[in-house]
Amino acid sequence: MNPIQQQNQHVVWLDVVRLIAMFTVVCCHCTDPFNFYPGVAPNIDQIKLWGAIYGSLLRPCVPLFVMITGALLLPVRGEASVFYKKRIPRVFFPFLIWSVIYNLFPWITGLLGLDPKIILDFFPYSGEAVARQSFAVSLDYILHIPFNFSILAVHMWYIYLLIGLYLYMPIFSAWVEKASERAKLYFLLAWGVTLLIPYYNQFVAPYLWGTCSWNAFGMLYAFAGFNGYLLLGHYLRNLDWSLGKTMAIGLPMFVVGYLITFFGFRYITALPEYSDEMLELFFTYCSINVLLMTFPVFMLAKKVKVRSERTKRALANLTVCGFGIYMIHYFFTGPSVVVMRYLDVPLGLQIPIASVIAFGISWLLVWLIYRCMGKKAKWLVG
């Protein structure tokens, strides 16, 4: 088959990976009201425990997105300028529009006369400034969009990363296209070593392999980061393992990765004091434990056989609506958890049920936007 035809061919199992990634990222954000509970509660220990249980389980969500990108787009075909023109605007404009909307939310709640506490129901990370419901505060967040995301649009961190990956891919692609399978494995091996660096920096020494107070770019810097997941997605697309081999290797990998993530996170949160960086240490996506969890999920998704045409159409629709779902879902994760608490749903079930609600509402709204706006919807929801 022609490589270009192969790249453009619709791959149903990648739609399955996308469904897993999309749902788990919504589920992951439903853990925020647990791990970052605003206030006190008599059962706060149980709330934190379930936040850690689910939060640790869901770490493959973002790496899966990057691996899908690598599996579909590497190597990049055609001119880089054409690639940039096709990819970046469909990401940039919805990102800009929704970032503004998220940052205006506290001010809008003030106009509506709502209690400032409602902001915490939507955005557990938000601090004291948003409680003022001031347009000046919202405007300040908006003016910072070219530089970074705000605490009201936390999930937008990924879009800065995605645009960066798009900018890098045509350059990386030139090597990927010519590299042998062994060369790709060597790259992935070097990348795997970098996944241990966060723990070295935290528990051994802050500097390694040439990094110091005047240099942040160490020996393996060029092999580090999410570009490893890009290459891994590209490499694993054509790696064919039997189901037995996938289970025999993948299940122990996932269990080990999960145990490191869960107990590491619980260890940090049990310390008398810890920084934001320490809190996120074992949740870091570019870490060895998250890779151990992500690899088997991706490989097992390849084994899913979708025979129903209706299911295939639904998955294809998710491919169209997925970016829009990512844009808007953060408006519904917090309130969905609030509903679960109001209905007194058992604590262990609140996160998955809230995730189904938030995911379903987001998908429905994005689908309606496409129905109403047609092709113009790409400027709003990608």
For the entire predicted model, the pTM comes to: 0.92
CA angle 270, 274, 276 (to 5 degrees): 120
Of 121-125, 196-200, 217-221, the poorest mean pLDDT is in 121-125
User: Is a pLDDT exceeding 90 seen at residue 102?
Assistant: yes
- CB-based contact 14:72 (threshold 8 Å): yes
Higher pLDDT among residues 329 and 276, named by residue: 329
Computed over every residue of the chain, the mean pLDDT equals: 93
pLDDT in tens, 72-99: 999 998 899 999 999 999 999 999 999 9
Domain boundary assignment for the chain: 3-381
pLDDT at 306 over 60: yes
Q: What is the pLDDT of residues 216-256, one digit of tens each?
A: 999 999 999 999 999 999 999 999 999 999 999 999 999 99
Q: Is the pLDDT of residue 136 over 60?
A: yes
Percent of the chain at pLDDT > 70 equals: 98
Look at residue 128 and tell me whether its pLDDT is greater than 90.
Answer: no
* Confidence (pLDDT) at 217: 94
CB-based contacts of 150: which residues, under 8 Å, 6+ apart? 99, 102, 103, 141, 144
Which token pair is 214? 């005047």
pLDDT at residue 2 greater than cutoff 90: no
User: For residue 3, what pLDDT is reported?
Assistant: 38
Kindly state the helix (H) or strand (E) to which residue 189 belongs, with its residue range: helix 181-194
- CA-closest candidate to residue 73, choices 60, 63, 86, 61: 86
Can you tell me the mean pLDDT for 104-122?
A: 93
Residue 7: is its pLDDT beyond 70?
no
Higher-scoring residue by pLDDT: 217, 7: 217
% helix, strand, coil for the chain, step of 5: 75, 0, 25
What's the average model confidence in pLDDT over 91-112?
96
Q: What's the rounded mean pLDDT across residues 169-184? A: 95
**pLDDT at position 9, please?**
61
Given a cut of 60, whether residue 59 has pLDDT beyond it is: yes
